[in-house]
Amino acid sequence: MNALATRGKGRITVDEQLIGQDIDGYIIGSNIGCGGMGRVYQAYEANTQASVAIKIMLPEYAQDEHFRMRFLREAELMSTLQHPNVVPVYTYGEWHNYLYIVMQLVRGPSLERILRRRQFSPLTAWQIVRPVADALGFGHAYQVLHRDLKTGNILIEPRGKGNHVYLTDFGLSKRPGLDTTLTEAGVSVGTPEYMAPEVVMGKQADHRADLYSLAVVIFELLLGRLPFEGKNPQMTALAHVDQPTPRARMLHPHFPRRLEAFLLQALNKHPDARFQSAEEFQLAYYKAVKALDDDTRRRCYWVAAN
């Protein structure tokens, strides 16, 4: 139970002395983000001066032999996943007490940050849904689950008039200490706000749990609030299991009926009742938006959080 409670920003202890260090040929620059497992820094390759992003795990993780092995195995897998909407992993390794992973530096904010200042319409949300579903479908074809899909792991790089969308942290979210949470024998992985019910319950989860998390992201984009929020991380996680999915039209009376139906199916408690693949999911969203008239699909339906 405790593992979930300790999740979140602010408990990072990777020391600032890392700045300026040469980690296997990468010179560490400024800190660009913190997450539950470590810190992300801008860095440059000493030989070529190329800028990269380096994620350095909290030292305690390298001491956990089980985590260490899994990290190295999954980083290897990630470095082979090449898709235009997946942040490329260049290399990874161990340096003293640290595990690190070197990635392409995405020059833009996370969707989490963008949501603080921008609302999405059904049409503009498609610009996120399409590439993220593409990236998930690609990973799923290789039996790679993301396991921690959320707005913080979707990065948006402005390019000319448009944006390029990247998914990051593919398969990297298994953490030591998170392995027994809400159920005795269960394995719970992810971020409570985005966790599928079967994940919360520690049941065997598959690619449909990632699609559930994507549905939470879409709910957030379209309505400006999360479907489930509890008083603490455990309550939030359990709400996915035992609270009915909020009906979008109860939150916003003009929310399009077809999109409400899409969200209810995508957020169904039972994986068998959801969309069964990233392709099916994406097509269903596309069709729901296409069926709307132009004004309806360009409107925003945000509601105040309760």
* Residues acting as catalytic residues: 148
Burial classification of residue 96, based on how many CB atoms lie within 10 Å of its CB (0-12 exposed, 13-18 middle, 19 or more buried): exposed
106, 157 Cβ separation under 8 angstroms: yes
Question: Residue 55 or 146: which CB sits closer to ligand ADP?
Answer: 55
Stretch that binds ligand ADP, among 19-27, 100-108, 228-236, 257-265 (CB under 6 A): 100-108
Among 19, 21, 36, 241, contact with ligand ADP (rule: CB under 6 A): 36
Question: Residue 40 or 165: which CB sits closer to ligand ADP?
Answer: 40
Query: Quick one: which of 169, 159, 163 has its CA closest to 194?
Result: 169
Spatial neighbors of 116 by CB under 8 A, at least 6 apart, are: none
Among 74, 134, 169, 210, contact with Mg ion (rule: CB under 5 A): 169
Contact between 205 and ligand ADP by CB under 6 A: the answer reads no
Contact between 59 and ligand ADP by CB under 6 A: the answer reads no
Question: Residue 74 or 260: which CB sits closer to ligand ADP?
Answer: 74
Question: Residue 38 or 137: which CB sits closer to ligand ADP?
Answer: 38
Residue 74 to residues 98, 154, 168, 272, Cα–Cα distance (Å) = 16, 19, 13, 28
Q: How far is residue 37's CA from residue 146's CA, in Å, rounded to a whole number?
A: 15
Query: Quick one: which of 304, 211, 306, 298 has its CA closest to 262?
Result: 211
Residues 103-122 that bind ligand ADP (CB under 6 A): 103-106, 110
Residue 38 to residues 55, 194, 238, 255, 268, Cα–Cα distance (Å) = 7, 20, 26, 39, 32
Contact between 33 and ligand ADP by CB under 6 A: the answer reads yes
Looking up tokens 């470095």 gives: 79
How many residues bind ligand ADP, per CB under 6 A?
20
Stretch that binds Mg ion, among 21-29, 35-43, 98-106, 295-303 (CB under 5 A): 35-43
Question: Residue 169 or 210: which CB sits closer to ligand ADP?
Answer: 169
Residues 146-185 that bind ligand ADP (CB under 6 A): 152-153, 155, 168-169
Stretch that binds ligand ADP, among 26-34, 61-69, 256-264, 273-281 (CB under 6 A): 26-34
Contact between 153 and Mg ion by CB under 5 A: the answer reads yes
Residue 239 to residues 5, 230, 292, 306, Cα–Cα distance (Å) = 15, 7, 31, 15
Q: How far is residue 259's CA from residue 138's CA, in Å, rounded to a whole number?
A: 25
Q: How far is residue 110's CA from residue 112's CA, in Å, rounded to a whole number?
A: 5
Read off the tokens for 152: 């913080």
Read off the tokens for 207: 């690619």
Question: Residue 155 or 223: which CB sits closer to ligand ADP?
Answer: 155
Q: Which does 32 bind (CB under 5 to 8 A by kind): ligand ADP, Mg ion, none?
A: ligand ADP
Contact between 32 and ligand ADP by CB under 6 A: the answer reads yes
Footprint of ligand ADP on this chain (CB under 6 A)? 32-36, 38, 40, 53, 55, 87, 103-106, 110, 152-153, 155, 168-169
Task: Please report, as ranges, the residues that interact with Mg ion according to CB under 5 A.
Answer: 35, 153, 169
